[in-house]
Amino acid sequence: MKFVSRHYKKIKIAYIKVAVLVAAIAALFLPYYQKLESTGDNQFTVYLNGEQVGVVDDVDRIDNCLIGARKIIAGDGGEIVLADSNVTYESCEVLWGEVDDDDVIISNMASVLRNSIRETLNRSYTVKINEYTVNLATTDEVLELLQASLGKYDPESQYTIGLVMDPERELNVLTTAIYAKEDEKDEEQAVIVNAGINSELANIFATVEPEAEKDFDDYDLGLKSIGFGDSVEVVEAYLQDFEITPLQTAIEEVTKEQEKEQIYEVVAGDTLSKIAMNNDLTLDRLIAMNDTIESENSIIRVGDELIITVPEPELSVERVEEVYYEEDYEADIIYIDNDDWYTTQTRTLQEPSAGHRIVVADVSYRNNEEVGREILKEEITYEAVPKQVERGTKIPPTYIKPISGGRQSSGFGYRKAPTKGASTYHQGVDWATPTGTAVMAASSGTVVKAGWGGGYGNVIYINHPDGTQTRYAHLSKVLVSPGQYVSQGQKIALSGNTGVSTGPHVHFEIVINGSRVNPLKYLN
């Protein structure tokens, strides 16, 4: 018993030492080791994109930690960061296990996400001008771009640009607003001047003494208003770096003049060459752009619409400037109608002479092109004398092709003589057609010649009411007589091969003011 008692004391002392050691270890490691409930898998090793990021005792903690990590890599900047985030975990059942704090897991996840970033989407702004779009980094850059377009025509920086919500759009679309920098100051001064008794006195004097007419010195010359001539829309977008255009590149693209198609309406006095020259086009280019123009000899009429190109920037600027100028001017032509004349007949009754005037006017521009002018004040130094023209009102006769079908075998103008005795300057048009084809009057009138005409063979001459004459030659048979009145389209002869001729055909001429002209320009 003494032996047992002696060893029992030693065992008891050793047990106490072990207990103290266990207590010390527990004090050090309890934050990391805890007793886990034995209810199945209760410890989860978490992996993000294949890398271990921590150990948890509850899978619900994983999503919260991932959200925290995403917030860290997103930061406070104006961008969206896209990164791969494939989360997996391994589970097991333990009695005691080590788990990590959320802060540790979040930090580990953030490190993995930084290495897994695929792309960063920056907050940016898309500017749409008609069909043109450009992406810029900030609203400040958007305003700089717009100001660059405006500044060309506002050298004194009298106006500033803002972005406002477009009231006509349901979505969050911005558009431009342009303000005069003096507006606020003027409004404050107006409030002071018109306040109280001053307002009442102003109303009284306005009714008693109307505003006097301005003198030339009273006008405030210069830029009166300015704005954009094209629709501008600005929307927020999230884009990658390569999709955002540098500001200077955008300014060059928007302000550089480029050729754009426009419609031009023909006015009195226009010719194809004149229209081409006034719009910096070659005649060939103008013809190529318009399917209705076959050649430089094609006829154009007042009111016809032609396609032309004009140099314009992507974003056009419209403005109104109040200007003073002196000029010589022409008075409007005075027309005196004569109902007995055709519209092709005119006579000048009075020659014009220029006058002189001084003017203040509002001139409207689109970019550098003047598009309108309103005279505000005008003082005549000496009057212009208007030109007076007597003109006919009757519509002149029209001309139709004298045969149906046929092949044009010779045109109007210089040619190689087709046979001995034929002219090298052809003064009409030939249509090859079988002998006996019906020949019709191109216009109504009176027959003045019907019979043999030398080298022309059998011919018919018809005088028309407007003073013109048509001629038909190389006929096989004449069906009318001199002095006979014929209607447009009436059968007057049969085609043939008489006179100096190389084959059966009809020769047709139109004579105006004693000169033969190209009939193709007058046929309907």
Tokens of residue 261, six digits: 């198609």
DSSP H or E run through 401: none
Residue 492's CB is within 10 A of a number of other CB atoms, namely: 22
Residue 410's CB is within 10 A of a number of other CB atoms, namely: 17
**Which pLDDT value is given to residue 5?**
47
Residue 466 phi/psi, 5-degree rounding, is -85, 10
DSSP state of 383: P
Written as tens digits, the pLDDT of the chain (524 aa) is 444 445 545 555 555 555 555 555 554 444 444 545 556 788 999 998 889 999 998 888 999 999 888 888 777 555 566 677 889 999 898 888 789 999 999 999 988 888 876 666 788 999 999 889 999 999 999 999 999 999 989 999 999 999 998 888 777 899 999 998 875 555 544 444 444 455 565 565 556 555 678 888 889 999 999 999 999 999 998 888 888 999 999 999 999 887 777 888 998 888 898 998 888 888 888 888 898 888 888 888 888 889 888 788 999 999 999 999 999 999 999 999 999 888 878 999 999 999 999 999 999 999 988 989 999 999 999 999 999 999 998 888 899 999 998 898 888 877 666 665 556 678 899 999 999 999 999 999 999 999 999 889 999 999 998 889 999 999 999 999 999 999 999 999 999 999 988 889 999 999 988 888 999 888 88
- 432 close to 409: Cβ distance less than 8 angstroms: yes
Cα 118 to Cα 83, 235, 275, 461, 485, distances in angstroms? 5, 25, 57, 90, 92
Q: Reduced to 3 states, what is the DSSP secondary structure of residue 154?
A: coil
**Which pLDDT value is given to residue 501?**
87
Cα(150)–Cα(162) distance, rounded to whole angstroms?
12
DSSP H or E run through 101: none
Q: What pTM does this model have? A: 0.51
DSSP state of 50: T
- 413 close to 516: Cβ distance less than 8 angstroms: no
**Which pLDDT value is given to residue 13?**
56
Residues pairing with 80 in the sheet: 121
Q: Reduced to 3 states, what is the DSSP secondary structure of residue 168?
A: coil
- 230 close to 316: Cβ distance less than 8 angstroms: yes
**Which pLDDT value is given to residue 451?**
95
**Which pLDDT value is given to residue 2?**
43
**Which pLDDT value is given to residue 206?**
55
